[in-house]
Amino acid sequence: MLISPHIMYWQYFYRSSSFGLNSSASKVLVCAKDAVLSSGAAWKASTTGGIGGGPISQEGSARFLQTSTASANEEAIRTSILMDKKIVPEAKPPSDKDIDLFYQFLNKSTRLMVLTGAGISTECGIPDYRSPKGAYSSGFQPITHQDFLRSIRTRRRYWARSYAGWKRFVSTQPNAAHFALATLEKTGKISCMVTQNVDQLHHRAGSNPLELHGTVYTASCLDCGSTYSRQLIQEQVKALNPKWTAAIERMDYYNPRADESFGMRQKPTPDVKIDEKFWEEDFNVPACPKCDGMLKPDVVFFGDNIPKDRATKAMEAAKTCDAFLVCGSSLMTMSAYRLVRFAHEAGAAIAIVNIGMTRADDIVPLKIEARLGEAFCRFYLRSLRSGLPPSLHPSDIQLEVL
């Protein structure tokens, strides 16, 4: 089933941090005349087929899309994407052939499964792990499950660094790729979305993904099982370490030079690299308010197992989809790579949009090495060529960079 072009009008698809933390070109709006919007809405009302063959979700279209189409200079999109060069991997723009194949791949699917990794969030200012500019390139050592349980020093390291990085981490906003996937999900095109990320940017864009590795937005007691919001934990850390947190909060989180001055560097989680002398001795770790037990963020640390029900749900979706799209993941963890293998063995079409090598390169016929935000913008513009709704003309619509 072809993707109906009437949803290809993005009123608001990028926010400031999508282009980089210090971008002056903070928004990209696709603006149309009032007549275009009214005629587009009328055309939508008479159309039964959305992307997934059903009506457009009112919530999805109201929040992220307008019912219309756009014609624009595709280069304007690229020149407006002023990304943080310290975080976003270098990549050439996707070719016309890449976008045509991407369009055809999504068009043909009826039960699309999507897996997203850290690469989808680099355009929001959150680094990935394995790219040349990723966390591992700076010597980052991830915390393991066993180390967290056994070592008070490891728990001090985690909660201290996580507190320091939390303010910047939660200030990030979804980018064009997050919004595009949310729209595809709401219109029924995506049957299952799984993310390896713990940043909840998909949720902010309007999606409801299966969080394979959990989330940093809650923490649970390993003794009594009580669960708490991360904001409550932040407040507890502040109360337990008033002088330490006061020093942290005086730092300029949004000044890149502050990173250099204090030895801080953002990671794919709220964790930031910070001088050990700043936390190793006197820092008090948070504890369960009910039983004083050990608190652990609700994430799957390295060396831990994904909860069985979560893994089973993802596996069943992979085995029953007819197309599997990987967005921004190297698939180096077995939990992610296994899903691609399940889909491949079941006969599903596979496509990858990722900068750099992946573990599944040898079994995937379509791989696009491009930034995801740019790839999805180009995809939507490519969709316009399939037709325009009645009474619309390309001259009615323009792209503006504000």
Write out the chain's pLDDT in tens, 402 residues: 444 333 333 333 333 333 333 332 223 333 322 322 333 333 232 223 333 333 323 333 333 333 223 333 444 433 333 344 566 778 889 999 999 999 999 999 999 999 999 999 988 888 765 544 444 455 556 789 999 999 999 999 999 989 988 988 888 899 999 999 999 999 899 999 999 999 999 999 999 999 999 999 999 999 999 999 999 999 999 999 998 888 887 765 445 444 443 344 444 444 545 555 655 567 899 999 999 999 999 999 988 999 999 999 999 999 999 999 999 999 999 999 999 999 999 999 999 999 999 999 999 999 999 999 999 988 888 877 765 333 334 343 333 333
Q: Residue 124 is encoded by which pair of tokens?
A: 């929001």
**221 belongs to an annotated ligand binding site:** yes
**199 belongs to an annotated ligand binding site:** yes
**What is the model's pLDDT at position 285?**
96
Cα 307 to chain centroid distance, Å, stands at 21
Give per-residue burial for 249-286: e unless 16+ CB within 10 Å, then b: eebebeeeeebeebebbbbbbbbbbbeeebbeeebebb
**What is the model's pLDDT at position 278?**
57
Helix 242-249 crosses helix 230-240 at what angle (to 10 degrees)? 110
Question: Which entry of 145, 213, 344, 393 is annotated as an active-site residue?
Answer: 213
Q: Residue 174 is encoded by which pair of tokens?
A: 């979804």
Q: How many CB atoms lie within 10 A of CB 289?
A: 14
d(CA 293, CA 220): 10
Calculate Rg over the CA atoms of the chain: 22
Output the CA angle 380-211-200, nearest 5 degrees: 65
Contact 351, 325 (CB under 8 A): yes
Helix 96-108 crosses helix 372-383 at what angle (to 10 degrees)? 70
| Strand partners of residue 327 | 116, 353
Look up 213 and say whether it is catalytic.
Answer: yes
* Of the candidates 44, 48, 76, 79, the residue with the CA atom closest to the CA atom of residue 62: 44
SS3 266: strand
- Taking every pair of C-alpha atoms in the chain, what is the biggest distance, in angstroms? 70
**224 belongs to an annotated ligand binding site:** yes
CA-to-CA separations, 140 to 120, 127, 150, 269, in angstroms, rounded: 20, 12, 20, 12
**288 belongs to an annotated ligand binding site:** yes
**356 belongs to an annotated ligand binding site:** yes
Q: Which H/E stretch holds residue 367?
A: strand 366-368
SS3 380: helix
d(CA 278, CA 51): 52
d(CA 278, CA 76): 45
Q: Which sequence spans correspond to the domains of the chain?
A: 5-124+173-213+306-401, 139-171+215-299
Alpha helices in 22-131 (DSSP H): 34-45, 58-63, 74-80, 96-108
**321 belongs to an annotated ligand binding site:** no
pTM over 0.75: no
d(CA 325, CA 316): 16
The CATH superfamily label for domain 5-124+173-213+306-401 reads TPP-binding domain (3.40.50.1220)
Q: Which H/E stretch holds residue 374?
A: helix 372-383
d(CA 285, CA 152): 8
Residue type, 313: K
**173 belongs to an annotated ligand binding site:** no
**197 belongs to an annotated ligand binding site:** yes
CA-to-CA separations, 351 to 166, 322, 328, 365, 367, in angstroms, rounded: 33, 12, 11, 7, 6
**DSSP, residue by residue, 282-306:** TPPPPB-TTT--BEEEEE--BTPPP
**Backbone φ/ψ region at 232: left (φ over 0), alpha (ψ -120 to 50), beta:** alpha
Following CA atoms 352, 354, 359, 364 in sequence, which dihedral angle do they give, to the nearest 10 degrees? 20
